Copies of this chain bind each other. A is one copy, B any other.
């Protein structure tokens, strides 16, 4: 249950650990709180509206994307939902088996797969989304409309920074070195 106090406290401890190396405190606190807030909100939504419809966060997001954007190619859905396409394959399979999502080949391009909501999926969203939005309002009820706008704007700028300059930054950090493989994940056959 770490609020402001913990973070401030943690800063001091981390500072002491480093013996004088300066810490970017404001930035550290901002980033830490982004994750705290994200997981608190996610937790609340999963355990309130989503639980009753037996949906995980990710499953809901995927359905939501297809709902608002209509029949879509999987890579767009993955991008929009913020998950990898590998993950989407699995999630879509699950949702398909539950009769919420349909899957169809693209008429012109055989490589593409199109996702769309079934009638059952459509009904589900019609029912669940309003409740979901209601809880979004609940979690932000400590903020005014204006503050919500400010919050959204500040976060948007963080997202843009990473999207616009992240890749370049990562290249610079590696500086020529090949980007170390992940520990988990597939290995070369050889």
Task: State the A residues within 8 Å of B (CB).
Answer: 1-4, 6-7, 10, 13-14, 17-18, 21, 23-24, 26-44, 47-49, 51-52, 54, 67-69, 79-80, 82, 125-126, 129-130, 133-143, 145, 147-152, 154-163, 165-166, 169-170, 173, 179-180, 182-183
Q: Return the chain B residue nearest A138 by Cβ.
A: B169
CA distance A165 to B134 in the complex (A): 15
Cβ contact within 8 Å between A162 and B143: no
Q: A44-B170, A142-B157, A155-B34 are in contact. Are A180 and B69 (CB under 8 A)?
A: no
Cβ contact within 8 Å between B30 and A69: no
Pick the residue among B14, B47, B173, B179 that contacts A129 (CB under 8 A). B14
Output the least CB separation between A101 and chain B (Å): 16
Q: Return the chain B residue nearest A49 by Cβ.
A: B173
Q: A33-B151, A37-B34, A140-B27 are in contact. Are A3 and B156 (CB under 8 A)?
A: yes
